[in-house]
Structure 1
Amino acid sequence: MSHDFTVLIVEDDFHVGRLHAGFVNAVPGFRALPPAPTAAQALNVIHAQAPDLVLLDVYLPDATGLDVLRRIDVDAMMLSAASDPETIRKALRHGALAYLIKPFSAQLLESRLRGYLRYRRLLAETGTLSQDRLESAWQALHPAAAATGPRPGSATETAVLSALAQGGDQSTADVAKAVGISRTTAQRYLQGLADDGAVVISLRYGATGRPEHRYSAAKP
């Protein structure tokens, strides 16, 4: 993606809001707006600046986060100490993409944000989606419980993306040579990035008639 996703944190505790903003800003691809301490201020910011994602507390001084959730047409996740089943069911029923119960780690929030980034990539295409791609987008938002930290091999993944960013479609061998990894490893990373929507696969037919897979960075 060529731009950072803007994130509004709705949190009445100044210190907690600043802490969560720091968590958000530490994840590549995201930029936190100044936190909003009330529901009224949150609605004003949402209407004026149209953030990509809202992180909502349930307990606010002038309304509940659930009230805000019902009134906005913006992607949202709940970050709250409210852990009763009824509140969680209401939040999910009204469209929350995730629910994190306080206190949570920076790694857990990072995992959800990275999943959201993949979700947006997968749903950025025009036209219709296949069921498999829809399933991939849904699973990106709900990673396995064990996968709460950065994905293993993220440095290699970044190197593969950097190689593709040089422009043009490239073969597995091209990427392997540029990054300094085996073709098998390059193929694994390229396929994973394609599943996430960060890489586009095309076919090129050579003289033998056998198609060769070519890879390019997805357009933002």
Structure 2
Amino acid sequence: MTDFRVLIVDDDFHVARVHATYVEAIPGFAALAPVGTAALALQAVHALRPDLVLLDVYLPDTPGLELLPSLDADTIMLTAAADPDSIRYALRRGALGYLIKPFGADELETVLRGYSRFRRMLGTPGNLDQASLDRARRSLLGTREPSAPGRPRSSTETAVLEALASGGLLSAAEVAAVVGVSRATAQRYLAALADDGSIEIRLRYGATGRPEHRYELCD
């Protein structure tokens, strides 16, 4: 199984290594070797094709805000630049998120788990409706859809959870076969269970290079 690959761009090598350690500790993510300049970042993005770049503003050759539009990868800013102009500029230029230093492992994990949900929601087949798009955008803020406390599980939800409990890491098609529903129905229930935190989503890359979503129960 292959995780989301994350490139950290920060000129402070010690800080970059700490952030890489944070990333490695999050299931579903893997940190590439950090780089410390804009030039090396461009080379790494071209050669390694990371899923996500964590980008600092203060780089020795080109500021991260100027580099941002040139990066052909999803990007989240990790920086001490906290002025409103920098934040607005980064979001206007396409940054998916903005995390202000200093921060701890838990804060970065919240951001990356939100990114993982965002990628999953935008990776489902077919077009999104407005509600689905709004949920995907909210996921980038680390928020989940609220679930009603004590809400009873439907029989299909229960069957999906039981399939994952007995089968481990399964695809939507495998869950559908076990439960006896269509793949589209299985995906709908799996998405809802992931949103309320009952299950986790992992990515597995096949021979074509396209990631397959697989599902497992949360610990």
> TM-score scaled to structure 1, two decimals?
0.70
**Could you tell me how far 1:35 is from its partner in structure 2?**
0.4
Question: Which secondary structure does the structure 1 equivalent of 2:76 belong to?
Answer: strand
Question: Which secondary structure does the structure 1 equivalent of 2:193 belong to?
Answer: helix
CA separation of 1:162 and 1:73: change in aligned 2, threshold 3 A: farther
Partner of 2:194: 193
**Could you tell me how far 1:60 is from its partner in structure 2?**
0.3
Q: Do 2:113 and 2:142's aligned partners in 1 also have CA atoms closer than 8 Å?
A: no
Partner of 1:71: 70
Deviation by residue 1:126-146 (Cα, 9 ceiling, x = unmatched): 2211212111111110135xx
CA separation of 1:81 and 1:127: change in aligned 2, threshold 3 A: same
Report the AA paired with residue 191 of structure 1: A
Q: Do 1:136 and 1:195's aligned partners in 2 also have CA atoms closer than 8 Å?
A: no
Q: Do 1:160 and 1:189's aligned partners in 2 also have CA atoms closer than 8 Å?
A: no
Report the AA paired with residue 133 of structure 1: S
Please give the residue correspondences for 1:164-179 in structure 2 after superposition, counting only pairs within 5 Å: 165=169, 167-169=174-176, 170-171=178-179
Partner of 1:113: 112
CA distance in 1, matches of 2:163, 2:100: 35
Q: Do 1:198 and 1:218's aligned partners in 2 also have CA atoms closer than 8 Å?
A: no
Report the AA paired with residue 69 of structure 1: L
Please give the residue correspondences for 1:91-102 in structure 2 after superposition, counting only pairs within 5 Å: 91-102=90-101
**Could you tell me how far 1:195 is from its partner in structure 2?**
7.0
**Could you tell me how far 1:72 is from its partner in structure 2?**
1.5
Question: Which secondary structure does the structure 2 equivalent of 1:86 belong to?
Answer: helix
CA separation of 1:94 and 1:163: change in aligned 2, threshold 3 A: farther
RMSD over equivalenced CA pairs, Å: 3.1
CA separation of 1:128 and 1:87: change in aligned 2, threshold 3 A: same
Report the AA paired with residue 40 of structure 1: A
CA separation of 1:84 and 1:77: change in aligned 2, threshold 3 A: same
Report the AA paired with residue 84 of structure 1: D
Please give the residue correspondences for 1:17-36 in structure 2 after superposition, counting only pairs within 5 Å: 17-36=16-35
Say how many residue pairs are matched.
Answer: 175
Deviation by residue 1:131-168 (Cα, 9 ceiling, x = unmatched): 12111111110135xxxxxxxxxxxxx99845463544
Deviation by residue 1:111-138 (Cα, 9 ceiling, x = unmatched): 0100111111111122211212111111
5+ residue gaps in structure 1? 145-157, 172-187, 200-216
> TM-score scaled to structure 2, two decimals?
0.71
CA distance in 1, matches of 2:126, 2:190: 26
